[in-house]
Amino acid sequence: MPGSQPENSDVYSVYRNVTTNPTTVGNRVRPMACVASRKFDPAVWTAIARSSTDGRPKEGDVHSPAQAAIGLDKEGYWSLRWLHSVLKEKTGTGACAFRGRLTGTERDEVLGLYRGRQT
Amino acid sequence: MLSLLLHEGATVAERSERRSTDPADAATGSRSVVSGDIWSLAWDREHLGYVIISRAFEDFVLVWPASYVVDEFVRPSFIVEDSDGQKLATWPTRETGLGKHLLFERRASALSDGEVRRISASLDADIDPEVGWATTPAPAGFDDLLVNRWHEWCFNDGHTDDMEGVYIDERRLSACGGSARILAEVFSLGPADARALFRGEQPITLEQAQVLGGRLKRDPQEMLGGDPTERFWSMLADPEFKAEVVSAVERAGLTEGEVRRDAARDSYALAARDDGHDRARQKLLDALRRIGT
């Protein structure tokens, strides 16, 4: 089923359900892109999150124009700072809804940022 | 089960005996963050767990979650022996970005930089890196708890809610005809509070910015800038300050976010424009040592 099996550059709106510390409360739903579907992990895939308020292009964050069609209402940045895991079991559900795919230069730059993280 | 992964109740004081035994660290007090090293994490005096550093950047790290608890040596972690001969499990497929402010103490080394790169590259290509994978399946609920907890730490930026808002840029406001005296008049403040707003030591709300813009007949955006204390806040995220931050938290009964905010603002208020790194570092240490005394 499209959207439940993430592929690189797929964009999801991921709901945060753990906000126990006041300092960690941020947006409850964040846009995230798949950068590794993780064959060797049965439970998770790797996501890079997008921020519309804390972009740091001088530190390598990738610019992302607003794209309302895939749920990206404001201009923002993709950053390795926000790399984390997303449960495969919840992918495609209301907690992790498929919104579309990155394309063109933005797709190449986001995947390049991730793949180049060790260099 | 899950005792260390969830880390509930353990304080940094109870965990801090597990620090690095590397003679180089003891001699130099080194806190440099290096790929392949094992660090403990802490926030608000709570021990959060262990990580292997997969890559260190200026302001943040990428890490692999890790655990010394044998009951947590479950798939898909692999088992590695650290430089002290202790076995630990680590989850390279669950790499997470964390702010450096969460790093507490370097404990030991586990892998070389080259090994970290090789394992990462293999997994990115869906090739088995041929490490010592754990064979025990994860128990029900383990993955959910691990992912949720690390998700929370990934998005812990260490800032307090009252750091949000907008900040006056002293030079831009002056160029618009503004001054501390006008701020005092518009917001009914005393001289010290007005000066703090003028220098950007405290944020203002967007509504206040609109009022000020109306008073000066200028677009509010022309007089605003970023948080000027952020330079000190970022410096303070370096783990070399963590022990002093934890001491201040214990002494003052504040949250860690409040201690970091206050130390950054205090250092900024006393900073000279030409302060270099060493002077700024000393001002941060002095500010931390004043908190709660």
Average pLDDT over residues A92-98: 89
Specify whether B237 is located in the same domain as B125: no
For A59-92, write each residue's pLDDT tens digit.
899 999 999 999 899 999 999 999 999 999 999 9
> Do B143 and B206 belong to one domain?
no
The answer to whether A38 contacts B152, with C-beta atoms less than 8 Å apart, is: no
Closest chain A C-alpha to B37 CA, distance in angstroms? 15
Domain extent at residue B274: 230-290
User: In chain A, what is the straight-line distance between the N-terminal and C-terminal CA atoms, in Å?
Assistant: 35
User: What is the spatial distance between Cα B265 and Cα B199, in angstroms, rounded to a whole number?
Assistant: 11
Choosing from B154, B180, B210, the residue where a domain stops is B154
- From first to last of its 293 residues, chain B has per-residue pLDDT tens of 444 454 545 676 666 544 554 444 443 344 699 999 999 999 999 999 999 999 999 989 999 999 999 999 999 999 999 999 999 999 999 999 999 999 999 999 999 999 999 999 999 999 999 999 999 999 999 999 999 899 989 999 998 877 677 889 999 999 999 999 999 999 999 999 999 899 888 888 888 999 999 999 999 889 998 888 888 999 999 999 999 999 999 999 999 999 999 999 999 888 776 778 888 899 999 999 999 98
Query: What is the CATH code for A10-114?
Result: 2.30.30.110
Q: Render pLDDT for B277-288 as a digit per residue (tens, 0 to 9).
A: 888 899 999 999
Nearest CA in chain A to B128: A40
Per-domain residue ranges of chain A: 10-114
Percent of chain A with pLDDT over 70: 88
Mutate to test the interface with A, among B152, B157, B161 (most CBs of A within 10 A): B152
pLDDT of residue A23: 44
**Which residues of chain B are within 8 Å of residue A22 when distances are taken between CB atoms?**
160-161
Give the pairing of strands B37-43 and A76-87: unpaired
The pLDDT value given to residue B15: 62
**Which residues in B lie closer than 8 A to residue A86 (C-beta atoms)?**
147
Q: How many residues does chain B have?
A: 293
- Residues with Cβ within 8 Å of residue B80, at least 6 apart in sequence: B87, B88, B90, B110, B111, B131, B132
* Domain-located, residue B100: yes
| Pairwise CA distance, residues B54 & A93, whole Å | 31
Chain B residue whose CA is closest to A84? B96
For residues A83-106, give the mean pLDDT: 93
User: What count of other Cβ atoms lies within 10 Å of the Cβ of residue B76?
Assistant: 21
Please give the pLDDT value at position B23: 44
pTM, rounded to two decimals: 0.87
Q: What residue type is assigned to position B140 of the chain?
A: A
Task: Please answer yes or no on whether B144 and A87 come within 8 Å at the CB atom.
Answer: yes
- Cβ pair A38:B93 closer than 8 A: yes
B139 and B13 share one domain: yes
Q: What CATH number does residue B196 fall under?
A: 1.10.260.40
**Parallel, antiparallel, or unpaired: how do β-strands B103-109 and B96-99 relate?**
unpaired
Q: What is the pLDDT of residue B31?
A: 60
Distance CA B97, CA A63 (A): 18
Quote the pLDDT of residue B84: 96
Residues B121 and B177 occupy one common structural domain: no
Give the pLDDT confidence score for residue B275 in this predicted structure: 76
* Interface mutation target, options B93, B102, B167, B254, chain A, most CBs of A under 10 Å: B93
Q: Are residues B138 and B274 in the same domain?
A: no
Q: Is the pLDDT of residue A18 over 60?
A: no
| Residue pair B202/B163 in contact by the 8 Å Cβ criterion | no
Summarised one tens digit per residue, pLDDT across range A34-59 is 999 999 999 999 999 999 888 888 88
B58 touches chain A (CB under 8 A): yes
Rounded to the nearest angstrom, the minimum Cα separation between A100 and chain B is: 22
Token pair 């750091």 is found at: B163
Per-residue pLDDT, A1: 47
Query: DSSP readout, A60-116?
Result: TPEEE--BGGGTB-S-EEEEEEEEEEEEGGGTTSTTEEEEEE--HHHHHHHHHHHHT
Residue of A nearest to B35 (CA): A118
**To the nearest whole angstrom, how far is the Cα of A67 from the nearest Cα of chain B?**
23
Alpha-carbon span A50 to A70, nearest angstrom: 13
Which residue, B200, B225, B250, sits at the end of a domain? Answer: B225
A-chain residues near B155 (CB < 8 A): 16, 24, 26, 82
